[in-house]
Every structure is written in structure tokens, then in C-alpha cells.
Structure 1
Amino acid sequence: MAPTRRVAVIQWHIKELEIDYNHNTACNYIRQAALQGAELAVLPEYHLSGWVPDDPLWALQAAESSKYLTRYQALAKELNICVVPGTIIEKHEDLNTPTKFFNTAYFISNDGSILGSYRKKNIWHPERPHLTSSGSERHVAFDTPVGRVGMLICWDLAFPEAFRELIADGAEVVIIPTFWGANDATPEALSHNPASEALFLESTLTSRCFENTCGIIFVNAAGPPEDFLGMSRVVLPTVGPVGKMGTEDGLLVVDMDLGLLDVAEKNYKVRQDMSRKDWYYVYRHSVSQ
């Protein structure tokens, strides 16, 4: 029988450029999650500094972000809990190339070791002047104490190909740290439906679970509802969300029954079809292929 995993999603109103406040807030929530028996705690995208790339301090903080990753490793080991510390902006400098900023998610095991990492591939349009994509690097899954995991970041959610590549590599659970706002759509789109972004998340997260027979742990930033969506949740095929939040600060601890992945696969046989030698679909990212 597939195990049930106890996981925590953590969201709060991230304070822009107040990196120590945000880090301490995250650590306090992770401690609460551990006290509630969570095996894994997940934080939002941009959780250390928020998204303010035009402020010079943002770049300076990115250059020092590695020390916070080290602190999360120590905390994970102390509390015996796995941690995905949202995303961390990393500054890479080379004498021969322009400075690059990568938006990176890490999976830290309960012994403090890093089991996997992922650099955001599909960069949201306003991010593109500031961030560098992982480009043609493959999406890969990796083994963890809570199962075989893949990671995506925010706008990656919009690309079914990203999920398919992870599922082909055996991912059972896809973790998605996010900084997705209520007003990310254009004014024209919002004029047709002011809640269009919430609808996007609500429908797409559930659809991805069904069409890939996987679980999803989705964690977003919280804040005033006129600007922030929150909506952090844990979603499984067959049943949909098994726990979800609104726009409030806090954490939610959920029991994730991975046995439902077997139920869904027996029903839909998605992975079985994908593993066939005569599988109809191949990835074609360019018309020249």
C-alpha cells in the first residue's frame, strides 16, 4: 500500500526586501509544521525578498542568498523535516558573461542534505528582463523521503510539457512554489473576469493531477485579496484539493494519500501509455525538428 505523507504548505504576506524578517517568519512556520508532524514543509516563490528587481538592494540580497539556504539545511536536520524553501534568487557573475540571476528551488532532506534543485524555465513576461531561464535543461525527478518528486516554479504550471517530462521520469508528486498575483492578467482579461487568475489556478491545478496521475503541492504568497491570491493547496487526482488556503497568513498541514495515485493510474493508465515504445507523442519544441 502506498504511504500517506503529512505535508505543510506555508504562506504569508512577504515583506519586500526585509530578508531577515521573511526568513525568521519562514523558520517559525517550519517549526510549527514539524510540531504538527509534517514530514515536508514548502514555502512560496521569492519568499526572502519579494519581487522588486528594480531596487538595487534586491540584487545585493541575491548575492548573499546562499547563507539562507545553509540555514534551512541546518533547520531541516534539527527538526528532522524535509524543506523546500520556496525559491531563492541566485546571482551568478562571470568575467566573460553578463551577470545572471536564477530563480532556484531546492529540496532539502530531513538530514540537511540537498537532494535536488530546479531553476525556473518558463519565465513570466515581466520577469524576463531580470531572470535567466534554465533553457533546454531537462526536467528531472529525484527520490526523497516523501516519494519521487519533481519541482516546477510558478508560470511553469502553464506548460503541460513540463509535467509530462517529470512524469516520464517517475515523479509522483510535483512541488510548485509560486508568487502568483490577483492582477497578473491584463486589464482586458480582468474586465471579462476579475477572478480570472484564481480560476486559472483552481482549474489547472486539478487538471494537472488528473492528466498526469500525480499529486501537486502548490504554495503561493498571501496578502491583501485585491493584490494576492494565496490559494496554497495540496491536490490529488480523483478527489481534487485535500486541503486549501485563502489569502490568510499561516500554514496548513495535510495528509497526502499517495495511494490515490495508484487508483488514478489504474483508472486512466496515463503512465502506462507514456511508457509504450509506440507512444504517439514526442516532444517537439521547434518546428525544425
Structure 2
Amino acid sequence: MTVTVAAVAANFGRDLEENYALIERIVGEARDAGVQLLVFPEAAIGGYLSSLGNHGDTVRTTQRSLPPAITLDGPELRRVQQIAGDMIVCIGFCELDADGETRYNAAACLDGTTIYGAYRKVHQPLGENMSYSAGSEYRAFDTPVGRIGLQICYDKAFPEAARSLALDGAEIIASLSAWPAARTATAENLQEDRWTYRHNLFDMSRALDNQVFWIASNQSGTFGSLRYVANAKVVDPGGNVLATTLLDAGLAIAEIDVEATFRAMRGGMFHLRDRRPDAYASDLVARKEELVHA
């Protein structure tokens, strides 16, 4: 069965009405192209932090510029569901926990009637933990277009994250990002920036590591002090980029056949089958302590 999938590169800020208008326009464009699975960027509802590192937005320093915190059962996601209709959409937002205080950098996969799965970002870069609490697990889930796993941005730098989802049966991993250019010595041509290179290399490597389809969205344009590198893409299980936006806003659209591709690419070398976890775990705790305290 072939499925048409797309990754979004677009700019989302604090104005929710502007966000919904952009989401509706992009969904309409994707629907015209026959897209069945559409992956929006990290923080597409309400925008990301306006800066990171020592000058980052934090709960401790300001409430003014933080993204609005919403709940999974709130009106914000219901509005996205109304826009999505029969299309499956993955989208990022700031989630408010049931305690009414704890915030997570989160994503959900949904259509007009169902929230198939949700995820809270585990790995936090450059002081992001001052604004969000960390998630604690990776779980894949079934959808009408296949078994999907969610990741957010910095997660892609950790092979264990994608591997956890692949071992849980994920056939497609949606990696939602607000990935910026380097903060220092930024390349004049952002396509040649070292952080753009890493963004793209991680996407291709994680797809190939686990022999899964990888759909990587990203913010584009600028927000606060961050300048995003876009480069939304669809990568096949061989690490081949099937479609990309490069630095532009827009859609990277590809038609994929999960079953046929897995049969061909996993028929010989199958990385998950050929793992040797008995060798990987030897003295792992001691070695981890050595690295942490080195």
C-alpha cells in the first residue's frame, strides 16, 4: 500500500489565530496533493522559545514570551482536528500537565476523530529545561497509515531514542523540530551552516540506523534570536532523501510503500535483527559513570 506523506517547513509564532490560519492553508495544500500523513514542526501551536542558552526564555525569568500551554483535550487541539479531517497530522505544542503547572515540549498525532499518540520531549538542549519539564519514554502507536513514533528536535542526536521507537515497531518516525542555525560563526549560506549539516546528517543516519521512514519537519524563518534552517524532508530506510524543502518554507512530499520497501531493504541486512545487545550492556553502568565524571 502506498501512502503519500509530507514534512512541513513553516514559521509559527505566538499568535494562535495566525497559527491556525497557516495550519489550515498548509493542510489544504497538502490535501490537494493527496497527502495522507502531514508532519508539522515542533511548537507549531504557539511558537518555540525566542532564545536559548544563557539568555533563554525561562519560567523563572519571564512569563511574557513563553509559548501558551495547552492540554491534549483542550480546544486548541480540537481545532486542529477540525482542520485535519481525514488527514493524519503530527503537530508540536507546549503541553500543560494535569497539575496545571508543569509544562512539556510535546507533540501529538491526530486526525479529525482520534488522537493516536502523544509524546513529551525527553532530551533538552541549551537550558530548555528552564522552560519545560522532560518527558520520560518513547512509545510507538498504530495509525491507519502505519505504526508511528514521535520525536522532537534534539532527540535526533541520540541514537537510542530512534532505536527505542524502532524496537517498539515504528515503521515511520516523525521528527518535529525548531532547529536553528549555529549561534556563533554562522555560515553566510545557511545551507552550508554546520548546524544545518548536523540536522540533515542526523535525519539520514537515524533512518538508516533503524531502516525506517523518517519524516523531519522544521520551523523556517526567524523567531526572537533564532534563525531556523528549514530543510524539512522525507528519508527512506536506506538513508536516501526522497524530498526536501532545503531552506525554503513549504512541503516536502513523497509517496512511500512501507511494506514493499521494508521487504526489499530488510531482506538482506536487517539492523534490528542483527543487533547484539548482550555485547552492548557489559559493564554499562560503570562506563556511564566514568563518562559523566570525566
TM-score range, shorter chain: 0.7 to 0.9
CA change 1:207–1:59 in 2 (3 A) is: closer
CA change 1:124–1:213 in 2 (3 A) is: same
| Deviation of 1:88 (Å) | 1.1
Of 215, 218, 233 in structure 1, the residue corresponding to residue 216 of structure 2 is 218
- Structure 2 residue runs of 5 or longer lacking an equivalent are 51-56, 290-294
| Deviation of 1:286 (Å) | 4.5
**Percent identity among equivalent residues?**
25
Counterpart for residue 100 of structure 1? 102
Counterpart for residue 148 of structure 1? 147
| Aligned residue runs from structure 1 range 5-84, under 5 A | 5-14=3-12, 16-50=13-47, 51-52=49-50, 53=57, 56-59=63-66, 61-63=68-70, 66-77=74-85, 80-84=86-90
| Aligned residue runs from structure 1 range 249-268, under 5 A | 249-258=249-258, 259-268=260-269
Please give the secondary structure, in 2, of the residue aligned with 1:243.
strand
Q: 1-side partners of 2:34 and 2:282: how far apart?
A: 40
- Name the aligned partner's letter for residue 87 of structure 2: I
CA-to-partner distance for each residue in 1:6-38, whole Å, 9 max, x for gaps? 012222222x32221012101211122112111
Note if contact 1:59-1:91 (Cα within 8 Å) is conserved in structure 2.
no
Q: 2-side partners of 1:37 and 1:283: how far apart?
A: 49
Note if contact 2:20-2:80 (Cα within 8 Å) is conserved in structure 1.
no
CA change 1:31–1:284 in 2 (3 A) is: farther
Counterpart for residue 170 of structure 2? 171
Q: 1-side partners of 2:115 and 2:261: how far apart?
A: 28
CA-to-partner distance for each residue in 1:187-214, whole Å, 9 max, x for gaps? 37979x9711111122221111111111
- Name the aligned partner's letter for residue 63 of structure 2: P
Note if contact 1:216-1:234 (Cα within 8 Å) is conserved in structure 2.
yes
Q: TM-score, normalised by structure 1?
A: 0.83
Note if contact 1:10-1:44 (Cα within 8 Å) is conserved in structure 2.
yes
Q: TM-score, normalised by structure 2?
A: 0.82
- Name the aligned partner's letter for residue 103 of structure 1: N
Note if contact 1:8-1:251 (Cα within 8 Å) is conserved in structure 2.
yes
Please give the secondary structure, in 2, of the residue aligned with 1:56.
coil
Of 206, 209, 220 in structure 1, the residue corresponding to residue 207 of structure 2 is 209
Note if contact 2:196-2:229 (Cα within 8 Å) is conserved in structure 1.
yes
CA change 1:247–1:34 in 2 (3 A) is: same
Counterpart for residue 133 of structure 1? 134
- Structure 1 residue runs of 5 or longer lacking an equivalent are none
Q: 2-side partners of 1:233 and 1:206: how far apart?
A: 10
